Structure 1
Amino acid sequence: MIPLQLTIKNFLSYRSSTLDFHGLHTACICGSNGAGKSSLLEAITWAIWGESRAASEDDVIHTGSKDVRVDFVFEANQQIYRVIRTRSRGGTGGLEFQIETPSGFKALTGKGLRVTQDLIQSHIKLDYDTFINSAYLRQGRADEFMLKRPAERKEILAELLKLNQYDELEERAKELSKTLKVRSDEIERTLDTIKSQLQNRDTITTQRNSLEAELNQLQQQQQFETIQLQSLQVVEHQRKSWEEQLSFVRSSFANLTQDCERLEKDRFSVGAELAKLDELLKREKDIIAGYQHYQNLQAKEEAFSTKFQEFTRTQQQRGIKQQQLNQQINALERQLQQAEAQLEAVLQQERDIQQTLNKSKEVEAALEKLRESRNHLTHLDDLQMRVAPILRQRTQLQSHLDKAHAGLVARIEQLETNEIQLQRATKRQPQIQQAVLAVAAQIEELEKTRVYLQRVQEKGQERRHFIERLQAQQREYERLLGELEQKLQLLKTPNAICPLCERPLDEHHWNRVVSKTETEYKDTEGQLWVFREQMAVSDREIQVLRQEYRDISQKLSPYDTLREQRGQLAAQLESSSDAEEHLHQIAAEKEKLERALHLGDYAPDQQEELRHLDEYIQSLNYNEQDHALARNEVERWRWAEIKQGQIKDAAKRQAQLDKRKPELEAQIVDLERRIELEAVESECALEIAALDKYIASIGYDNNEHNNIRTALRTAQAWHLRYQELHNAKTTYPTRQSRLNELSAALALRGVERQRLASQIEATIEQLKQSANPTQQIQTLEAQLAIRRRQLDEQLGRLGRLEQQSQYLDTLQTQYGEQQQQLTETRNQQRVYQELAQAFGKNGIQAFMIENVLPQLEAETNQLLSRLTANQLHVQFVTQRHGRNGKSTKKNAKLIDTLDILIADARGTRAYETYSGGEAFRINFAIRLALAKLLAQRAGAALQMLIVDEGFGTQDAEGCDRLIAAINAIAPDFACILTVTHMPHLKEAFQARIEVTKTQEGSHLRLLV
């Protein structure tokens, strides 16, 4: 993927920016921390994959904006594509995918975001995780792979290769295997249970036949006993009918007896009631006289009640009129109180107004002072308007002069610092010259040693090649020796055949073949010993050469350090040679600046303008303190204006009060006269007097009325006796007729009772003559109940046996199905066990890592050879012996690991022993090889590379190494972007993308 153009609108810190990548091969993205460098890269990832560091989707929208849009044009697989991704705050997003054609861009957008996203990834052949682990070399990830333990490196490599999906498959296979194992165990237990149950099948059949025979015998006995019971039940039914008839007659006899007793009681009660009526009828005259006296008292009480109602009604009318009269008088009194209160308020206002009017002379004097103070303040305000711009101009001039003075002081201090440094460098010049000569002599000696080291290395390579040839020949002779030994073994067997033509051998030919084969075996064995001796000699020579190589490499270890030291000393010597000239220049400039500072000879135009401004300000004679005092004086006399307004208002109110006071006094006199007349001559007072006369004319006496009420209550008993007399005259004939009816009914009930007593005696005699079969019936019913229970039990047992038989038939079918299911489950369990092993760390993952490592090693060494001029070589080792690599009988097992062996001219050494520059190149090569490998596995070519700050914060020397490394690999990429904020690093690139941040957002500027 090669970037061509990026257009951003409202993305993170950017408002609106466009970046054209055409012509950019290696470029630097620079800017201060927080300027928006990373946001520029995230705009690319958000446009293509919709991924960014934002917590939510709306967070990518610039603060205060409603939507975001990123337009990215890039080249991939010799095609130019365009991706446009948009989003509205709180809404949905949009995604467009286009391809360039001769007639312009053509849409490839699918239906929906997910479909379009899949189309983009299928064309560029990169997902987001692969991109950030391949094309984007992030900060702090360069040495992460090297600093991990060997066992952890495999985990990191597996994570980068996305082998964790096989871990998930392994877990799923293990879970399914466990589930199937549990299922197979359950099936086995089920089969054992079914097998044990099927063993009872013959026993159940025998029990079933025996129960059927017993059941037939019980059913026959039950039928015979049932017939006997039915005949006895007929006899019992007849006897029960007689008993029921006897019970009914006895019940009727008892009812008649109760009716006779009731009629006797009613006849006695009616006779007593007739006697009381006779007694009441004998007192008829006395009752009538008492009742007439009661009627007279009642007529008197009604007359007094009428008078009382009229008296009460008149009293209520008088109360209403009296209340109306009181309300009218109270209303007039309230008006009188209001008028008196208003008059008092008017008098109080007159007193207050008089106090205000007495201060009029004092207020006029104060107003005169206020006019004078305001005139003076107006004059000072005019002066201030003329002086204010002059003062602002003077402040600006003074600020410029202060800055110029501070700049001179800072320049002098800087010159003094440079002077001290140059003086020190001048003093060190003889020492540096001697050091340069000494280092040059050492380097010359070491270069001679390097030539000899190269010869030793060539000789060692020659010996190794010779040993490899000997090993090949040794393997060939060992194979030939094994074939000859096999032939001899075949010839030793009886009736041996020829090993070549496979024909039978007689004794003569057998001896010849055996002799020839043994001779070849001895010759081959002798030649094999010669090869082994030559290999042993060559191995000793190689050991001697290796020791010599290590000794010489140890002597050459200071070579790189001495070369770097020589370059540094040469630079220091060159800089110190120019120190004298710089010292003279600094001294002259310093003297000039100190003289100007002492005499004030700097910024002459500003100083002259400042002098003119001071003279003009003095001519105006303006003083800020006088101005402030004048303002205070005006504020001090402003109360006079307020008092003047109060005096004018007081005069107006006095005139109004003079009119209001006589009106209130006249109103008070009128109200007092009206109150006196209202109590005597008003309409309500006259009506009250008329009602008093009418009440006297009614003549109602309350005591007399109460006496009549008491007498009436006493005579009220005669009214009750009169009613009882009237009722007795009406009731007496009816009671006499009722007494006759009760006597006749009592005689009829006696005759019927005698007839029922005779019928009861006859029925009892019939029951005594017939036999009672109840005992026999109960016995038979008990026997039948026992038989019924036995039948039910036998039928239940028979039903259970039939169910068991059917259940065993079903179990027999299930047994065959379960056996088949057990076989299938065990087969599936074995399959998932094998899959779990295949998906495990030692299965497909280890196989894929083993296949990837040679490619990674070759790519790393290819890059490392270009970065170090063939001085360093890397080897990845995935297995080693236990116990520090020593193979023994007790511990011959190989341990999985991922060791990284690094070799240079001095041999193989640990990673920690290499210098910073060498370690950086090794890290960079391995990380870049991993990036290329990931891109290739994704099916895409790694054409763009982003380096974030050089794998960590570097010093000046580290920056130089990073630049050298980038330049070394630049031909392999179409575009390399380096992100940094270090000035030393960004100045090394001709093309720079400078990012700055303002209040309006981040801005881009391309410098080529």
Structure 2
Amino acid sequence: MDFRGLHTVCICGSNGAGKSSLLEAITWAIWGQSRAGIEDDVIHAGAKEARVNFTFQMSLMQTYRVIRSHPRGGTSVLELQVETPDGFRAITAKGLRATQELILQHIKLDYDTFVNSAYLRQGRADEFMVKRPSDRKQILAELLKLNQYDDLEESSKDLSRHFKIRAEESSRLLAEMKERLQEREEISQQKQDLAQELNQLQQLQELDQTKLQNLLVIQHQRKTWEEQLEFVYKQHQGLFHDKERLKKEKSSLQIQLDQMEEILQQKTEIEVGYSQYQQLQSQEEVLAAKFENFTHWQELKQQKQQELDQDFKVLEQELQEARATLNILTQKEQEIGKILAKIGEVETAFAKLNSARKNLAELDQLQMQVSPLLRKRINLQTQIDREQASLAARLELLELTQDDLKSCQENQHQLQQSVTEVAMQIEGIEKKRVYLQRVQEKGQERRNFIERLQAQQLEYEGLLEKLEQKLQMLQTPNAICPLCEYPLDEHHWNRVIDKTKEEYRDTEGQLWVVREQIAFSDREIQVLRQEYREVSQQLIHYDYLLERRGQLAAKLENNSYNKQRLQEISQGREDLKQLVQSKGYLPKQQQELQELDTYLQKLNYDEQKHILARNEVEIWRWSEVRLSQMKDNLKQKAEIQVRKPEIQEQIVKLESSINQYHNSPIYQEMQHIKKQINDIGYDGEKHQKTRLYLRKAQCWQLRYQQLITVTGQYPELQDRLQELTASLSFRLSEEQRLIEQVNQIQEQLANTADHLDQIQVLEEQTAIRRKELDKKIAQLGSLEQMAMQLEALQKQYEEQQQQLQEYCRQNRIYQELAQAFGKNGIQTLMIENILPQLEAGANQLLSRLSANQLHVQFVTQKAGRGSRGKKKTAKLIETLDILIADARGTRAYETYSGGEAFRINFAIRLALAKLLAQRAGAALQLLIVDEGFGTQDKEGCDRLISAINTIAPDFACILTVTHMPHLKEAFQVRIEVNKNQQGSQLSLLI
């Protein structure tokens, strides 16, 4: 459908033709919402997919195309395109939800706002009127784009809180700075006292250092002699161990030579025994060869014997199996003869089975005719019973609803009092929530500040450790420069020492300041945590009170409609009760049920007879099985008579083979193997004795090998014995020389005094005084650092005072802006400025529609009841109530008839749409009226058409939907909607 060139259009057609579906396709394409409760319900019956392409223009400037499709049982696909000189270009976002958000950003109108202003949907023309007062105000605010002021209000509140926190922090820092600046005079006096103490300690330290250096030179010479004496002692000890080792080796070597001489004396006896061992070894080799040949023929004999026994067993087993098979066939032949003797009885039973089957087939045919009728009767009876149960349930529900409405009317006053009490409790808790948020933000800021201080503390401690190591390196004799690693003279050494100590004092002072700030911040966080726990405990019931307030407000709002509903329910209850008692429901189904019962009686189908016939077939079914078995027995008998002679002939052959067993080739081979074994002539007893003698003679082989080894080693060991004797003599002379050297060194040590105790006392005293000096220097550096920090702190104090004034000024500015942007500020003012114009437009249209009989008034505030302690005070409540007056006075909207209520709704909705079209901020150029004329008489319809024509110049397109034939003639342009088997069809009539 192309709407270009159309202004005021009537969409007409019969009920159910698809008029509203045309409009629902537009809302489904843009917002994905329609009357269908399930997404698959938007798909035409029999189709696999629904698809809508909707092209529209915003503010006569930019053209868009929305394409939404949904496959049955699948996921919807959404695409957004914008028109360019080269055609439409896709600007679809990633995902269905993101694309939907992008569409809302471009059209700046959501679905709820659209149906509450420019789209009077079928049956929902009162959408805006039946909303709660607070919801009406919210819808109006969204249409006027007042939500941007909510964002500005939140931003102003955030900035106000930010500057307030900064101001509080600045005030606290100023107080801390002022307190620290009072320490300046005290620090100056401490610096002078420390400088005097340092001068005295340094003079004493220099005297002790000189004395210590002299004693260290003497002690170094004595230590050198002691080390030399220890070295000589170690040489003497090593020489002694070497001498003992040589003595042991000489003794062991002499024992070996004696044993070798003994073996050499037995040379002749060993050679005779070794010759006898060789003869026995030759005899054993000959007997071993005979034994191997004897074993081979013996194994072959056992193998042939096993083959002979195996063949004999196979023949015997085959003979036994043949005899057993012959016995089985004989027994089976006898059993078959007994069974075939009863064949006449089985044939008689089979004839009865055929007769019973024929009777059952006739009953089955009758059952196929009766079963659909019975199912139809059950369905009809189920519908009647279900309708009866539904009417009874509705009657019971109406009775329960009537009791509930009466109870609600009685609790009206108590509900109003409860709503007021809960609202006061929520207001108090919300103030505490704001305060709790401020405490939480302040605590987070303190934790972040402590983390930064802890990082600085670790950095300063690491720097102090490096400086201490540097000072220790410089205190050692002949110290080198820590940077360039070159030796330092006294002048440069003093400069490096002074510079390092000055850096150490500065760092220690900064570390002291950081630690003090950490301790102060920890105490402050503990106080904030305690305060946070106390306030959080008071907010436990906040969610419950919100839920309670919503429940009470809903009950209170519903009570205003309960009176009229109570009357309607009472009348409906009486009508429903009369219908149930007279059984006047579903007359067509009850008549059809009686006709079915008559026809079923005529067919005379008896289910009991059908069951008996089926049982009779089952009784004689055995004869069919037995007759089949007898046919199989006849075949088996014939097969047995053929097989018996074959088996008897096989038995005779097997008995003959067993009798000729000793004439087989294997038996002849056995006799040849026995003859070969006797020809070998192997004597096992002789072989065993030879092996025994050989084992006894094996000792001569070992002694012969020892004789050969001793003959070769004896000269070498004699030479080694001579070398050991010479080495031992040299060790004895060297030992005497070392003893004389030890005596000389001991004499020198006796003439040199030991000053180790004095050196230790002086070193300890110097170390203690050095620590004391370092401590004093650190204290002096800390005081100097503190003095420098206090000087800088004075400047910071003055700057912080100016900054505090700026924070306070910014806080006041953003507080005023938050109030101005809030619900009670610019937004309320704009709504109150718009409402008179909306009220005038609605009354102008309503006067035409009602012949000046109805008047509308918008009220944005109403008096409520508040309480403070025991004293009650008046309180204004923000609302958006709609008061309607006629010739008889002001009365509730619900008391007007359907036609009057529609006129009121129509006038307000048209005025609202016209107002939005006139405002530059809302690009709303479309007005839709869907089936709104059904409640009007002829005069009311004429007035509605006149009102539509009056506002037509303010809209680009107005679509009116109706199925009333006399109304469509009032429009020059019509879109006819007709429905056939292929679906709804459109035709444009101009």
What range describes the TM-score normalised by the shorter chain of this pair?
0.5 to 0.7
C-alpha contact (below 8 Å) 1:867/1:921 kept by paired residues: yes
Choose from 840, 860, 864 the match for 2:822: 840
Choose from 842, 852, 860 the match for 2:834: 852
Alignment of 1:931-942 (within 5 A): 931-937=913-919, 939=922
C-alpha contact (below 8 Å) 1:28/1:989 kept by paired residues: no
Structure 2-normalised TM-score? 0.58
C-alpha contact (below 8 Å) 1:360/1:647 kept by paired residues: no
Letter in 2 for 1:853: L
How big is each residue's C-alpha offset from its partner over 1:961-1001, in whole Å with a ceiling of 9 and x where there is no partner?
A: 97576446343466453579xxxx78976699998999x78
The answer to whether structure 1 residue 305 and structure 2 residue 275 are counterparts is no
Residue 693 (structure 1) aligns with: 675
Tell me the secondary structure at the aligned position of residue 109 of structure 1.
strand
Tell me the secondary structure at the aligned position of residue 88 of structure 2.
coil
Summarize the Cα distance change of 1:862–1:22 in structure 2 as closer, same or farther, 3 Å threshold: closer
Tell me the secondary structure at the aligned position of residue 842 of structure 1.
helix
Alignment of 1:189-268 (within 5 A): 189-200=172-183, 222=205, 225-268=208-251
C-alpha contact (below 8 Å) 2:117/2:128 kept by paired residues: no
C-alpha contact (below 8 Å) 2:340/2:630 kept by paired residues: no
Choose from 760, 763, 766 the match for 1:778: 760
Alignment of 1:774-813 (within 5 A): 774-801=756-783, 804=786
Alignment of 1:873-888 (within 5 A): 873-879=855-861
CA distance in structure 2 between the partners assigned to 1:270 and 1:75 by the alignment: 123
Choose from 302, 305, 323 the match for 1:319: 302
Which shows bigger deviation, 343-352 or 666-675?
343-352
Summarize the Cα distance change of 1:343–1:745 in structure 2 as closer, same or farther, 3 Å threshold: same
CA distance in structure 2 between the partners assigned to 1:641 and 1:893 by the alignment: 100
CA distance in structure 2 between the partners assigned to 1:116 and 1:890 by the alignment: 53
Letter in 1 for 2:811: Q
C-alpha contact (below 8 Å) 1:30/1:995 kept by paired residues: no
C-alpha contact (below 8 Å) 2:858/2:880 kept by paired residues: yes
* Shift in Å, 1:780: 3.6
Letter in 2 for 1:319: Q
Summarize the Cα distance change of 1:646–1:949 in structure 2 as closer, same or farther, 3 Å threshold: farther
CA distance in structure 2 between the partners assigned to 1:109 and 1:1006 by the alignment: 27
C-alpha contact (below 8 Å) 1:860/1:874 kept by paired residues: yes
CA distance in structure 2 between the partners assigned to 1:647 and 1:234 by the alignment: 135
Residue 455 (structure 2) aligns with: none
CA distance in structure 1 between the partners assigned to 2:730 and 2:967 by the alignment: 150
Summarize the Cα distance change of 1:782–1:360 in structure 2 as closer, same or farther, 3 Å threshold: closer
CA distance in structure 2 between the partners assigned to 1:227 and 1:75 by the alignment: 102
CA distance in structure 1 between the partners assigned to 2:629 and 2:760 by the alignment: 133
How big is each residue's C-alpha offset from its partner over 1:505-554, in whole Å with a ceiling of 9 and x where there is no partner?
A: xxxxxxxxxxxxxxxxxxxxxxxxxxxxxxxxxxxxxxxxxxxxxxxxxx
Tell me the secondary structure at the aligned position of residue 70 of structure 1.
strand
Structure 1-normalised TM-score? 0.57
Summarize the Cα distance change of 1:232–1:872 in structure 2 as closer, same or farther, 3 Å threshold: same
Summarize the Cα distance change of 1:741–1:915 in structure 2 as closer, same or farther, 3 Å threshold: closer
Summarize the Cα distance change of 1:698–1:731 in structure 2 as closer, same or farther, 3 Å threshold: same
How big is each residue's C-alpha offset from its partner over 1:806-858, in whole Å with a ceiling of 9 and x where there is no partner?
A: 65566566656655654554444333322221121211111111111101211
How big is each residue's C-alpha offset from its partner over 1:28-80, in whole Å with a ceiling of 9 and x where there is no partner?
A: 6622xxx8665432212234566546799888555775654435588998999
Summarize the Cα distance change of 1:793–1:76 in structure 2 as closer, same or farther, 3 Å threshold: closer
Tell me the secondary structure at the aligned position of residue 134 of structure 1.
coil
Summarize the Cα distance change of 1:712–1:147 in structure 2 as closer, same or farther, 3 Å threshold: same
Summarize the Cα distance change of 1:358–1:742 in structure 2 as closer, same or farther, 3 Å threshold: same
Choose from 949, 953, 970 the match for 1:971: 949
C-alpha contact (below 8 Å) 1:232/1:777 kept by paired residues: yes
CA distance in structure 1 between the partners assigned to 2:925 and 2:696 by the alignment: 134
Tell me the secondary structure at the aligned position of residue 85 of structure 1.
strand
Unaligned stretches of 5+ residues in structure 2: 363-368, 373-608, 953-957
C-alpha contact (below 8 Å) 1:98/1:108 kept by paired residues: yes
Which shows bigger deviation, 342-351 or 898-907?
342-351
Summarize the Cα distance change of 1:96–1:890 in structure 2 as closer, same or farther, 3 Å threshold: closer
C-alpha contact (below 8 Å) 1:935/1:942 kept by paired residues: yes
How big is each residue's C-alpha offset from its partner over 1:848-900, in whole Å with a ceiling of 9 and x where there is no partner?
A: 1111110121112112212221123233344566779xxxx997876655454
How big is each residue's C-alpha offset from its partner over 1:257-297, in whole Å with a ceiling of 9 and x where there is no partner?
A: 33333444444444455555566666667666666665565
Residue 46 (structure 1) aligns with: 28
Residue 427 (structure 1) aligns with: none
The answer to whether structure 1 residue 25 and structure 2 residue 10 are counterparts is yes
Residue 168 (structure 2) aligns with: 185
Residue 1003 (structure 1) aligns with: 984
Unaligned stretches of 5+ residues in structure 1: 7-19, 100-105, 382-390, 396-624, 951-955
C-alpha contact (below 8 Å) 2:136/2:880 kept by paired residues: yes
Residue 112 (structure 1) aligns with: 91
Summarize the Cα distance change of 1:797–1:314 in structure 2 as closer, same or farther, 3 Å threshold: farther
CA distance in structure 1 between the partners assigned to 2:99 and 2:628 by the alignment: 86
Residue 577 (structure 1) aligns with: none
C-alpha contact (below 8 Å) 2:849/2:940 kept by paired residues: no
Alignment of 1:55-94 (within 5 A): 68-71=50-53, 85=67, 87=69, 89=71, 93-94=78-79
Letter in 2 for 1:778: Q
Summarize the Cα distance change of 1:54–1:680 in structure 2 as closer, same or farther, 3 Å threshold: farther
The answer to whether structure 1 residue 831 and structure 2 residue 813 are counterparts is yes
CA distance in structure 1 between the partners assigned to 2:221 and 2:55 by the alignment: 118
CA distance in structure 2 between the partners assigned to 1:797 and 1:81 by the alignment: 80
Summarize the Cα distance change of 1:738–1:713 in structure 2 as closer, same or farther, 3 Å threshold: same
Alignment of 1:133-172 (within 5 A): 133-138=116-121, 154-155=137-138, 157-158=140-141, 161=144, 163-172=146-155
CA distance in structure 1 between the partners assigned to 2:83 and 2:758 by the alignment: 110
Alignment of 1:489-638 (within 5 A): none
Tell me the secondary structure at the aligned position of residue 759 of structure 2.
helix
Residue 158 (structure 2) aligns with: 175
Instruction: Kindly tell me the number of residue pairs found equivalent between the two proteins.
Output: 726
CA distance in structure 2 between the partners assigned to 1:149 and 1:319 by the alignment: 115
How big is each residue's C-alpha offset from its partner over 1:438-461, in whole Å with a ceiling of 9 and x where there is no partner?
A: xxxxxxxxxxxxxxxxxxxxxxxx
Residue 413 (structure 2) aligns with: none
CA distance in structure 2 between the partners assigned to 1:279 and 1:120 by the alignment: 120
Alignment of 1:610-689 (within 5 A): 669-670=652-653, 672-674=655-657, 677=660, 679-689=661-671
CA distance in structure 2 between the partners assigned to 1:143 and 1:967 by the alignment: 19
Which shows bigger deviation, 769-778 or 803-812?
803-812
Tell me the secondary structure at the aligned position of residue 30 of structure 1.
coil
- Identical counterparts, % of pairs: 49
Letter in 1 for 2:847: S
C-alpha contact (below 8 Å) 1:936/1:942 kept by paired residues: no
Alignment of 1:465-476 (within 5 A): none
Summarize the Cα distance change of 1:335–1:116 in structure 2 as closer, same or farther, 3 Å threshold: closer
Which shows bigger deviation, 691-700 or 214-223?
214-223
CA distance in structure 2 between the partners assigned to 1:250 and 1:77 by the alignment: 114
Summarize the Cα distance change of 1:197–1:917 in structure 2 as closer, same or farther, 3 Å threshold: same
Summarize the Cα distance change of 1:740–1:979 in structure 2 as closer, same or farther, 3 Å threshold: farther
The answer to whether structure 1 residue 132 and structure 2 residue 115 are counterparts is yes
The answer to whether structure 1 residue 752 and structure 2 residue 734 are counterparts is yes
Residue 531 (structure 2) aligns with: none
Summarize the Cα distance change of 1:996–1:77 in structure 2 as closer, same or farther, 3 Å threshold: same
